[in-house]
Structure 1
Amino acid sequence: MQTLPATLPVLTIMAVLPLAGAALLWLLPPLRRYARLLGLAVSLAVLAVGVWALSMFDLSQAGTVQLAQTTPWIPSFGAYWALGVNGLGLSMLLLGAVLVPVVLLASWKEVPQERQALLTGLVLALEAFVVVIFSARDLFLFYVCFEAMLVPVYFLIGCLGGPGRQRAALKFLLYSLAGGLVMLLGVVMLAIYTSENQVGFLIDTMAGNLTLSPTMSRWLFLSFFIAFAVKAPMVPLHTWLPDAAEQATPGTSVLLIGVLDKIGTYGMVTLVLPLFPEASRWASPVVVVLALVSIIYGGLAAVAQDNLYRLISYTSVSHFGFMVLGIFSGSQVAATGAMVYMVAHGLSIAGLYLVTGFVARRTGTVNISELGGLARVMPVAAGTFLVSGLASIALPGLSGFVPEWMVLTGTFSVSVPLGVAAVTGVVIAAVYVLLPYQRVFTGAPSPDRTGLGDLEGRERLVLVPVVGAMLALGLVPAPLTDLLDDVGEQASTVVSQPTAQVTASAGQQPLHEHAPLPEPRKGA
């Protein structure tokens, strides 16, 4: 894969800004009374830098790693501060940069004033880790931030969540640490191999120089895939998610499911496929079956839920199944659709969780059986929930339609039985969105609900960019699909072509077009 260096360290700036904001809140207690304003200003600055990065990105070479910066970090260990993004990485950075200020503004009254500094600092620290993870081009750097991001998420759930927050936070942490430990074994094995063969930790170097035996490659594939399957989350490694979503604040759930869980699917595309092409091809039949199980099981479990937070979390299990199916189907159309799905899902999940949180703040409950008739007293909330739900079930004209259509058509082109099984999830999706909407928002409200107010100005402002993005992606999807098409082609080539062809093709590409790679490490 070619790598184009940046003239300015724009990605480093994008990572340092939120980390600096979090540090200021920690080191300067007087600033904490202005935590909300500081957090919003810093997050908007990060978004501005993200737009700056987009302006510097060559869209005609979206499959190439661009804005690259490679600096020795731990020379004796062979680790580098190496950042760079292709079309997929840039898309995920922009998604996170958009959702963080949305979450901070939505959380303005979500927690007491005395805890606003804690919330804001944790969200900003989390954003810094997210930027590095989605742009890291050094495996060791990726792994360190992959594990470090668990800390702010754990405290966001455990300190600011509902009555069962401590148990949910601990379950999240144990599942994530278990997946990270399995991945660590793979990283250590790769470190031993690269030390002996002078390859180094740089991902683009490893992808072109790893010559592993089939057995070793498959074991390493499993070590990385399991960690990303926990994060994704795929059945049967998903059970931490409903508990975390039920107890976390709505804003935390937006970041957790809308952005952080995409690290699972992003890691599959960015690390698993290029580093272990033969093993990816070998495992793809089993992976697509697991993806289908996630699609169907997640949908059926969502239908059975009475708690709206848990229902939305199970819909995400189903949606992640579509993403993984597209990545490992071997179809370029499906792989590109899966990556577009990653962005579209982040938008719809933001709308669903935020509106549900606004409803819960007024009614004191998210149990479907205790709600009803809210459309008459909260028409804006009802309309926004419906639009977000319809986007999640791929109504034409909204963000979810194009990616789901691409995943399904690409899957059908590879295997009709797989496509038919995946369509079952689409049918179930209509039930788990429309039935809860009917029960929560239609009909006559109970007498104690008639005095509820609709969304206030700040809450409406929060939802404007989310709904606007859903409409924009639904009506004009071409800019995003074009941005991700080359990356989708690279991913599908790994799964669909014999490994020898993939390796030969990769080996013909120079690793750097304008600048040489740093010298590989001489041994740990």
Structure 2
Amino acid sequence: MLSLIVFLPLAAAAVLAAVPPSAGRRVFTGGWVAVAAVDLVLVVAAWSGYDAGGGLDYEQRLPWMPSAGVSYHVGLDGLSLPLVAVTAVLFLACAVHSLRRTDRVKSFVLLFLFLQTVSLGLFTALDLILFFVYFDLSIVGMYFVIARWGHGEARRSALTFFLYTFVGSLALLLGFIGLYLSAEPHTFDIVEIARADPLAGSGARGALVLLAIGVGLAVKTPTVPFHTWLPPAHTDAPAAGSAILAGVLLKMGTYGFVRVAMPLLPAVWRQYAAVVVVLGVVSVLYGALVALAQEDFKRMVAYTSVNHMGYVVLAVGAAGLVAGSDEQARSLAVVGAVTQMVSHGLLTGALFLLAGVLHDRAGSYDMNAYSGLAGPAPVFAAVTGLVVFASLGLPGFSGFVAEFQIFTGSLASATIATALALLGILITAGLLLRALHRVFLGRLRLPGAPGAAGGFTDLRPSEAVSIVPLLALAVVIGVLPRFLLDVVEPAASALVGVVAR
């Protein structure tokens, strides 16, 4: 079943590739929606059949390159299943949002179906080389999305994105090879390496392996100072591309910390966890402060992603600070980190789709060019306002559940860092509320038409159907989080136990 979930979009892409473009764009966009919907149904079925207390489930292992210790090894646990689910949800949302697309629709749909398989594959991979293959292919897919369907300086932004993240992936590969050479017998299997802990007490060698893996994952996350590729990539990407980049691809970095770095290098992670905590806090504060200075709505949201991913990095770092904390607190920090990945995927994905509405209507993200949009577009204003308040971490939304757990779990072992990170919430609240005030309140103003009395239409049905369910899921997690926490908590406890051994 798991392989079907992963490869169904790619199989559909192969079928649609044989259909001539003259068949009409609706064949391709409708096919994408149908495939994404079926994939989501399969993920829901996998969730309902998942045994939260049983560790890995839906596990499958086949030899791939046995002489090199490489296998097709896949499975789900409480760390990966929520990210598989949010990936399926976001790709369906982007498919619905793209129903009106008219520009090179066939290749656009095929590329996103390819990206969906790559993304689902990474979150299910239990072999380091399989993980790396998906990691690298995601870079290639997103490069073409930005370069071919972006706007502004899209080609330059795509090239910057590719070079930064490709260099990061090379560092990641070096780290994986270091783990392979340290394991006896040599293997790339994540489960076997975690069980053997080959770099325990290895000193400098373990530190170098963690450095290589950490740099590769930090570039993808991204954390400061490896974040500079992100704002231009987001600003110039199409709306659906930005939603997938923020909601799915950034999570490949943070997921790598909990799937690879922490369980495969537990002793080294404990030794350098304080460095990870510092990087997390710097990302939280830097992302919020730079976002505060932005005049471009989409660029502002991009910097808030640096801020929100900083909370995840802070949490996983705090989970490695064994001294001065108990196991329950560290487990809570990891649960908060995974919940934050899910929450950020839903809410920031929605924000980027809403930013796409601005550009679709008036061709600009410049907040100075807009005001008073609540008049002609009340539904757009209301949905944007709710998504913004959800992103602030207000009670009743998923962001509150995530950040509450992160701060509660991190406070005992990283007190000063956690206190500083709290300032990020205040700054983020100020910048997002200021953006709401500037764009939606006051006298109506549109780009190129000061004082215009109309011309900005409200959310279309396809836009509303793609965005509102993301917000609804954030409310469900905020009000009734047990269905998510019951899946994540056992896996988080097991991870914390591995790190502390």
Superposition TM-score, scaled by structure 2 size: 0.93
Q: How far, CA to CA, are the matches of 2:440 and 2:457 in structure 1?
A: 14
Corresponding pairs, count = 482
2:189 aligns with: 202
| Conserved? CA contact 2:182–2:198, under 8 Å | no
Tell me, which stretches of 5 or more residues in structure 2 are unaligned? 320-329, 446-450
1:452 aligns with: 456
2:151 aligned counterpart, secondary structure: coil
Post-superposition offset of 1:493: 3.8
Q: How far, CA to CA, are the matches of 1:271 and 1:479 in structure 2?
A: 25
Cα 1:125–1:449 change in 2 (3 A) is: farther
2:53 aligns with: 60
2:344 aligns with: 345
Counterparts of residues 78-477 of structure 1 (less than 5 Å): 78-109=69-100, 111-113=101-103, 115-194=104-183, 197-212=184-199, 213-330=202-319, 331-446=330-445, 447-477=451-481
Output the amino acid matched with 1:351: A
Post-superposition offset of 1:449: 4.9
Q: How far, CA to CA, are the matches of 1:449 and 1:394 in structure 2?
A: 35
1:510 aligns with: none
Q: How far, CA to CA, are the matches of 2:186 and 2:174 in structure 1?
A: 18
Post-superposition offset of 1:56: 2.1
1:26 aligns with: 17
Output the amino acid matched with 2:45: W
Q: How far, CA to CA, are the matches of 1:399 and 1:183 in structure 2?
A: 31
Cα 1:84–1:370 change in 2 (3 A) is: same
Post-superposition offset of 1:24: 2.0
2:126 aligned counterpart, secondary structure: coil
Post-superposition offset of 1:177: 0.7
Output the amino acid matched with 2:210: F
Tell me, which stretches of 5 or more residues in structure 1 are unaligned? 1-9, 503-524
Output the amino acid matched with 1:391: A
1:6 aligns with: none
Q: How far, CA to CA, are the matches of 2:339 and 2:356 in structure 1?
A: 26
Post-superposition offset of 1:365: 1.3
| Cα deviations by residue, 1:191-241 (Å, 9 ceiling, x for unpaired) | 3334xx214221101111132212211111111111110111100000100
| Conserved? CA contact 2:10–2:113, under 8 Å | yes
| Cα deviations by residue, 1:242-283 (Å, 9 ceiling, x for unpaired) | 000000011111101111110111000000011101110111
Q: How far, CA to CA, are the matches of 1:430 and 1:131 in structure 2?
A: 32
| Conserved? CA contact 1:11–1:131, under 8 Å | no
Output the amino acid matched with 2:242: S
Q: How far, CA to CA, are the matches of 1:263 and 1:20 in structure 2?
A: 23
Q: How far, CA to CA, are the matches of 1:55 and 1:474 in structure 2?
A: 20
Post-superposition offset of 1:145: 1.3
1:67 aligned counterpart, secondary structure: strand
Superposition TM-score, scaled by structure 1 size: 0.89
1:400 aligned counterpart, secondary structure: helix
1:83 aligned counterpart, secondary structure: strand
| Conserved? CA contact 1:25–1:32, under 8 Å | no
Say whether 1:37 aligns with 2:27.
no
Output the amino acid matched with 1:43: A
| Cα deviations by residue, 1:461-491 (Å, 9 ceiling, x for unpaired) | 2223112101101111122122111222233
| Conserved? CA contact 1:281–1:494, under 8 Å | no
**Percent of counterpart pairs with the same letter?**
35
Q: How far, CA to CA, are the matches of 2:145 and 2:259 in structure 1?
A: 28
Cα 1:32–1:77 change in 2 (3 A) is: farther
| Conserved? CA contact 2:91–2:116, under 8 Å | yes
Say whether 1:72 aligns with 2:71.
no
| Conserved? CA contact 1:85–1:135, under 8 Å | yes
2:326 aligns with: none
1:488 aligns with: 492
Q: How far, CA to CA, are the matches of 1:274 and 1:411 in structure 2?
A: 19
Post-superposition offset of 1:18: 0.5
| Conserved? CA contact 1:88–1:484, under 8 Å | yes
1:12 aligns with: 3
| Conserved? CA contact 1:179–1:230, under 8 Å | yes
| Conserved? CA contact 1:199–1:209, under 8 Å | no
| Conserved? CA contact 1:329–1:492, under 8 Å | no
The range that moved more, 20-29 or 332-341, is: 20-29
